[in-house]
Amino acid sequence: MKLIVGLGNIGKEYEKTRHNCGFMAVYYLQKSFIETFGDFKLNKKFNALILSENFNNEKIILAMPQTFMNNSGEPVSALMNYYKINVMDLFVIHDDIDLPLGKIRISQNSSSGGQKGVQSIINHLGTKNFIRFRIGIKSKNIIKNTSKFVLQKFAKDEEKIISKSLEKTHLAVIMTITEGINNAMNKFN
């Protein structure tokens, strides 16, 4: 069983913002998996939008916490405990301001790098030994205010780039499930 979590902020005003790349990637996964996935449903017990389907003879749970980014650890921890998921089977997808727009990186057992949603998950689970798919959002321009920057929508010329990043993330997740993290890291990092 794999739990694939996309990080983002809830609310219409945050849709398609840089900080919501995790949500965008999970929606992309839902629509792009080889087998047809169903629709997300709000599960109040976990405070998350979730859906579960089978892929590659394994149960896959896609989840988007319905807390704000900084509290992502609460629903992730609840899902992990309920489904008895091994931390090595947790995939977290999120934005990374230190990566250039269009780049993705797969990592495991690494620090949060200042990403507060990831730090919340680390704090709640008591470990950082899960797999992360980081989507670059860094602009070519100088960023004066990080908090404002991550809550901005992508410019028109950036939308095509981020769309390709979502496709790469999808392929990286599939390869990690089917061929293992080392093969995926070798191909996508």
User: What DSSP string describes the chain?
Assistant: -EEEEE----SGGGTTBGGGHHHHHHHHHHHHSSSPP---EEETTTTEEEEEEEETTEEEEEEEESS-GGGTHHHHHHHHHHHT--GGGEEEEEEEEEEETT-EEEEES---TT-HHHHHHHHHHT---SEEEEEEEE-SS--S-HHHHHTSBPPHHHHHHHHHHHHHHHHHHHHHHHH-HHHHHHHH-
- Give the pLDDT confidence score for residue 62 in this predicted structure: 96
Higher pLDDT, 13 or 139: 13
Reported as a single tens digit per residue, the pLDDT across 124-167 is 999 999 999 999 998 776 667 777 777 788 888 899 999 999 99
Predicted structure pTM score: 0.93
Using 50, 70 and 90 to split pLDDT, how confident is the model at 48? very high
pLDDT of 110 higher than 70: yes
14 or 37, higher pLDDT: 14
**Per annotation, catalytic residue among 19, 94, 124, 170:** 19
Q: What is the pLDDT of residue 3?
A: 98
Tell me, what's the pLDDT at 38?
81
Q: What is the mean pLDDT of residues 115-123?
A: 96
pLDDT band at 35; cut points 50, 70, 90: low
94 is catalytic: no
What domains appear along the chain, each with residue ranges and CATH number? 2-188 (3.40.50.1470)
Q: What is the pLDDT of residue 26?
A: 95
* pLDDT mean over 16-22: 90
